[in-house]
Amino acid sequence: MQIVYCDVCKKKVENSFNGRTFFYYGEHSVCEPCKDNLESQVKSTIRAKEPFSYEWYNKYIDDSLAKAIQKGKS
């Protein structure tokens, strides 16, 4: 088992399982609570954006994640 630290909140992820207790966004590892916060933050913007584009979505996720990492929270 590997030791994983969340890049956003900097906390150690206990019982780390990829896709269950932590998630990778590019080169960043994110714990489940921070992932949930990121998704809820992005959800309202995505619903209002038309037409949907994965190119725009991926850039928006990356930008939101970078801001969260700088602040230390999502």
Tens digits of per-residue pLDDT, 6-19? 999 999 888 877 77
Give pLDDT tens digits for 27-63: 899 999 999 999 998 888 888 888 888 898 899 999 9
What are residue 58's phi and psi, to 5 degrees? -65, -40
Question: Coil, helix or strand for 64?
Answer: helix
Q: Number of C-alpha atoms within 13 angstroms, CB side, residue 19?
A: 0
Task: Output the pTM of the full model.
Answer: 0.79
- Per-residue confidence (pLDDT) for residue 73, from 0 to 100: 60
Please tell me the distance from the alpha carbon of residue 53 to that of residue 34, in angstroms, as a whole number.
Answer: 24
- Per-residue confidence (pLDDT) for residue 8, from 0 to 100: 92
CA neighbor of 29 nearest in space, from 71, 69, 70: 69
